């Protein structure tokens, strides 16, 4: 009996050593495959940083032999001042910026794997105040509409929060203004400019100098009177989440930023935070501009790979598969508008640039200094 037990024990030990060696070799092989990945570098809008930094996304690219490394910058910076020679692809957050890169680099193929409506994040007490002014309205599906025309009437008059009738919840002595990023750097601010200029131009796309001169006085004020504005959409959203309505009562941002945090369920989105859909609004169409074959491979995978499309939906983006996004927000009980239909087309890139350049000159004339820059691309 003792001898039989010894033989069994020896056999178990041999098997254990064999399994350990196998697992060790497997681990080494997996590690080796990781080091053999082809590195692809891109510059992206900061609102997509969480998606690219997600380990699941990195693993999905690794399955195709790629290690994707990204730096972030304002989308307008990507189109105008970033040295794109260092990258394999550019991934700004707007069609006009992507088209500029495409034209200048004579690139024929682009990829649009996902998009996001522009929205306004606020807080329940602020929304209640604005509802009494006719600026905010709750729709039948439970989502909120933010009336841009009604808001701009308040902005024209320089209305302060403490001047709104019946406002006892937020009676502060500062103007009723939507916070944005810096229009001289960031795409989200350019999208805000597209909406506000459209409304001020009689609900028509701004075209030519006459239209521009008509809208410039007020749209310039909408930015200048905010004071400091960040170069990317990440910082003001972090302020909204951490500092609350005292710091940021109204924030213009990408729907995907808000939905991503709500899906994560990390406690950063609280019960009193409210998402409003501007009327009208505009879509931010995130467009990959490949600068070489490796960049093209990334763009194609983002559009065609089912796993990457699903991960984009779980990061808050609306993808080329609408049912996928709808299922994700339903599963995570995130209240969003199913169909965003009150949309405008932004001005052409050239018209938008002329407007932004004029606003930049107004900044300088008021002593605001040159456009801020990121200390480094990260």
HSE-CB of 104 using CA atoms within 13 angstroms: 17
Superfamily of domain 33-114+285-331: Periplasmic binding protein-like II (3.40.190.10)
pLDDT given for residue 6 in this prediction: 53
Q: What are phi and psi of 283, to 5 degrees?
A: -90, 135
As given in the structure block, the two tokens for residue 280 are 């009208």
pLDDT given for residue 226 in this prediction: 93
266 Cβ neighbours under 8 A, 6+ residues apart:
none
Please give the Cα distance from 173 to 161 (Å, whole number).
Answer: 6
pTM (2 decimals)? 0.83
357 Cβ neighbours under 8 A, 6+ residues apart:
none
Same fold, 33-114+285-331 and 117-283+341-365: yes
- The pLDDT tens digits of the residues spanning 135-171 come to 999 999 999 999 999 999 999 999 999 999 989 999 9
pLDDT given for residue 35 in this prediction: 65
Please give the Cα distance from 170 to 151 (Å, whole number).
Answer: 17
Judge whether 148 and 280 are in contact, CB under 8 Å.
yes
Domain ranges, ordered by start, for the chain: 33-114+285-331, 117-283+341-365
- The pLDDT tens digits of the residues spanning 205-246 come to 999 889 999 999 999 999 999 988 887 788 999 999 999 999
Stretches where the chain sits below pLDDT 70 are: 1-35, 367-378
State the first-to-last Cα distance of the chain, in angstroms, to the nearest integer: 68
Q: Considering the domain 117-283+341-365 in this protein, what is its CATH number?
A: 3.40.190.10
Torsion angle, CA of 11/13/19/22, rounded to 10 degrees? -100
Judge whether 205 and 214 are in contact, CB under 8 Å.
no
Please give the Cα distance from 115 to 283 (Å, whole number).
Answer: 7
| Residue 320 burial (C-beta neighbours within 10 Å; 0-12, 13-18, 19+) | middle
Single out the residue of 73, 85, 93, 88 nearest to residue 376, CA to CA: 73
Q: Write the DSSP symbol of residue 260.
A: H
């Amino acid at each position: 009996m003792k001898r039989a037990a010894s033989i069994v024990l020896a056999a178990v030990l041999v098997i254990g050593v064999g399994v350990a060696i196998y697992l060790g070799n497997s681990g080494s092989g997996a590690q080796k495959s990781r080091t053999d990945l082809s590195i692809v570098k891109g510059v992206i809008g900061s609102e997509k940083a969480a998606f690219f930094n997600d380990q699941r996304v990195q693993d999905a690219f690794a399955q195709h032999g790629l290690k994707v490394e990204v730096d972030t910058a304002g989308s307008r910076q990507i189109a105008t001042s970033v040295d794109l020679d260092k990258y394999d692809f550019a991934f700004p957050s707007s069609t006009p910026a992507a088209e500029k890169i495409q034209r200048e680099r004579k690139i024929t193929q682009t990829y649009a794997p996902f998009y996001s409506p522009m929205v306004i994040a606020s807080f329940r007490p602020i929304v209640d105040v604005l509802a009494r002014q006719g600026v905010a309205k709750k729709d039948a599906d439970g989502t909120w509409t933010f009336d841009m025309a009604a808001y701009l009437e308040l902005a024209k008059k320089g209305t302060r929060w403490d001047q709104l009738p019946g406002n006892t919840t937020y009676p502060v002595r500062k103007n009723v203004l939507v916070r944005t990023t810096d229009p001289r750097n960031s795409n989200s601010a350019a999208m805000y400019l597209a909406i506000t200029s459209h409304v001020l131009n009689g609900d028509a796309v701004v075209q030519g100098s006459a239209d521009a001169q008509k809208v410039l006085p007020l749209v310039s004020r909408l930015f200048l009177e905010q004071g400091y504005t960040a170069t990317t959409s990440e910082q003001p959203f972090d302020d909204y989440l951490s500092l609350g309505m005292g710091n940021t009562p109204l924030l213009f941002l990408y729907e995907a930023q808000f939905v991503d945090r709500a899906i994560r369920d990390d406690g950063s989105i609280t019960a009193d935070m409210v998402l409003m859909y501007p009327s009208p609004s505009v879509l931010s169409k995130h467009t990959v501009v490949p600068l070489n074959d490796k960049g093209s491979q990334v763009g194609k995978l983002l559009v065609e790979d089912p796993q990457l499309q699903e991960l984009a939906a779980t990061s808050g983006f609306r993808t080329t598969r609408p049912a996928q996004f709808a299922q994700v927000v339903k599963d995570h009980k995130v209240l969003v508008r199913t169909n965003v239909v009150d949309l405008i087309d932004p001005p052409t890139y050239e018209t938008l640039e002329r407007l932004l350049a004029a606003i930049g000159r107004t900044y300088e004339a008021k002593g605001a200094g040159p456009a801020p820059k990121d200390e480094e691309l990260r």
